[in-house]
Amino acid sequence: MKRQVLACLLTFSAVGGAWAQSQIDTVKVTGGSVQGVAAGNVVFFKGIPFAAPPRGQDRWRAPQPVVSWSGVKKTDTFAPSCIQDPALAQVFGAPPKFSEDCLYLNVWTPAHSPNDRLPVMVWIYGGAFAAGMTSIPLYDGTKLAQQGVVFVSIAYRVGPFGFLALPQLEREGKGSGNYGLLDMIAGLQWVKKNINAFGGDSTHVTIFGESAGGIAVSMLAASPLAKGLFQRAISESGGYLQPPKFANEGGQNGLTLKLAEKQGEQFLSGLGTRDVAAARTLSPDLIQREAGPALSARFWPVYDNYVLPGDEYELYELNHFNDTPVLIGTNSDEGALFAQPGVTSASFTAQVRQGYDAKANAILAAYPSNTDAEAATSSKNLFRDTAFAWPTWAWARLQSRVGKNPVFVYYFDHRTPLSPDGATHGAEMPYVFGNFDPRQGTPTAADIALSEHMMAYWVNFAKYGNPNGNGLPNWPTFQENTQQVLYIDGTLAAKPVPNIAQLQALNDYYSWRRAEAQKR
């Protein structure tokens, strides 16, 4: 009997050793070799450089080639996050380490061999283009990698470091103000060149992001510089199909180059200089202090005629976009996170009249404010719809009308005791990643079941360009004549687009804005 037990243990040990040896742990990439860390059936590589540190003379320049290193670089910890207000790191439990030397990415792979050729999912974080980092525990890629994909997360510059536009910068090279987007593109180029060595398939890449990350996904879908770097796109609470901003128009954030450069010159003056060369010698902390608090959205991607050739809506209408299958959606109570305190009937009415001009009456009819309570609700819902729901709806309609590939739309309405009025902004992410914050309690069996369904949908989409699969309720493609979306809450079922009357009022408003812009 003892011999049988010993034989079993030896066999198990041999099998375990063979498993460990079959995992990919050391990989040669652009710049040198990296060594990962095995964690069960997944190996992770944290802090792989994909570009040179964008500091000194490389501040406010497109990412430069990575600096090579000798020997084998241990990639067992996250690199510092890009310079930003540290408040977001504190909220989400990320390491409070920040530097301009921040252009690194991370890889989680379940592959046994470079020949496995697994689908790749590339994550782009949110944070209003003012904050965000790959080291947030929520973004750990282990559970998604365990579903049979290679998971990658890319860092990019934020705030003034990523999106400062100036005439001087435009004269230095192509475009101005979209350095954060160029970081994402450089990261995707790294993936194309290197991911096969991790067992991934460089011709089978899905980009996905949430909030500003989801907006960035839509921008990459419209950028000629990103053509061929991905074959699927997932945008959670993202999309940017609104017209460019010229002044203080309501419900618009994307800046024309002229306006962005004007704001950039004002920012430089606040730093005590008008010269970019001098600004490149200033400390990053001084620049960040001038930028202000996190999520201020003071800096935003720019229509620079290079990275972003123009109004995305018009680019789609002309069929000038990177046509891939897309999976997009929003949450039911996203505006709650951004709700302004003290909203009254009078203040909301004045705000709408100031921002929506000739269409103010139609917007107020769709978002009534007869009482202060009604105004507070309409205020948060107007933010939800202008920032997230309308651009997602517009994207879906254009993709189904013009694109050759399908679009799948979801509406996340999972309610909890902490969010009885609906799902707040970002509420879907723990379910997508399978990572629940222990500070918010232990997930229920229903939470885990919902997470398993959502991970299956997302991974199926990454694998096949279609989220459907065995054991999952049917998710129909979005068609402009039927407009069915998957409601995700206690049950999973296809239903009509919610809040359609409000979306149609905004559609009329944005059409008017676009027509007015063409008269300029």
* CA 444 centroid distance within chain: 27
Q: Phi-psi bin for 509: left (phi > 0), alpha (psi -120 to 50), beta?
A: alpha
Residue 147 is predicted with a pLDDT of 96
CA dist., res. 427 & res. 422, Å (int): 10
- The pair of structure tokens assigned to 119 is 């689908």
Helix axes 284-291, 257-270, angle to 10 degrees: 120
Burial class (CB in 10 A: 0-12, 13-18, 19+), 34: buried
Altogether, the residues listed in the chain come to a count of 520
* CA 446 centroid distance within chain: 26
* CA 412 centroid distance within chain: 17
Contacts of 70 (CB under 8 A, 6+ apart): 32
Domains contained in the chain, CATH given: 24-324 (3.40.50.1820), 331-520 (3.40.50.1820)
Catalytic one of 211, 223, 332, 378: 211
* Residue 171 vs residues 101, 166, 167, 271: alpha-carbon distances, Å: 25, 9, 6, 21
Nearest residue to 145 via CA among 435, 425, 473: 435
Residue 231 is predicted with a pLDDT of 98
The CA-CA-CA angle for residues 283, 284, 289, to 5°, reads 105
Residue 11 is predicted with a pLDDT of 34
Residue 269 is predicted with a pLDDT of 94
Rounded to 5 degrees, φ, ψ at 201 are -120, 110
CA dist., res. 501 & res. 503, Å (int): 5
Question: Is the alpha carbon torsion for 164, 168, 169, 175 positive or negative?
Answer: positive
CA dist., res. 248 & res. 225, Å (int): 29
Which residue stretches of the chain have pLDDT < 70? 1-22, 295-297
> Tokens 């687009």 — which residue?
497
Q: Is 92 helix (H, G, I), strand (E, B) or coil?
A: helix
Structural contact between residues 80 and 102, judged by C-beta atoms closer than 8 angstroms: yes
Helix axes 212-222, 179-194, angle to 10 degrees: 70
Catalytic one of 176, 425, 428, 451: 425
Exposure letters 93-120 (e unless 16+ CB within 10 A, then b): ebeeebebbbbbbbbbbbbeeeebbbbb
- The pair of structure tokens assigned to 112 is 């046994």
Instruction: Check if 218 is active-site.
Output: no
Q: How far apart are the first and last CA of the chain?
A: 89
CA dist., res. 75 & res. 34, Å (int): 6
Pinpoint the alpha helices (H) of 69-203: 87-92, 142-145, 159-163, 167-172, 179-194
CA dist., res. 260 & res. 246, Å (int): 9
Structural contact between residues 111 and 199, judged by C-beta atoms closer than 8 angstroms: yes
CA dist., res. 426 & res. 412, Å (int): 10
Rounded to 5 degrees, φ, ψ at 27 are -135, 140
* CA 248 centroid distance within chain: 25
Catalytic one of 334, 378, 379, 400: 334
Residue 295 is predicted with a pLDDT of 66
Instruction: Check if 369 is active-site.
Output: no
CA dist., res. 433 & res. 443, Å (int): 13
- DSSP secondary structure string, 201-241? EEEEEEEEEETHHHHHHHHHHH-GGGTTS-SEEEEES----
Tell me the per-residue pLDDT of 423-481, one tens digit each, with 9 for 90 and over. 999 999 999 999 998 888 889 999 999 999 999 999 999 999 999 999 999 999 999 99
Nearest residue to 502 via CA among 402, 384, 366, 351: 366
CA dist., res. 295 & res. 364, Å (int): 27
CA dist., res. 508 & res. 250, Å (int): 13
> Tokens 């799902």 — which residue?
423
Instruction: Check if 379 is active-site.
Output: no
CA dist., res. 416 & res. 344, Å (int): 27
Specify the DSSP class assigned to residue 470.
T
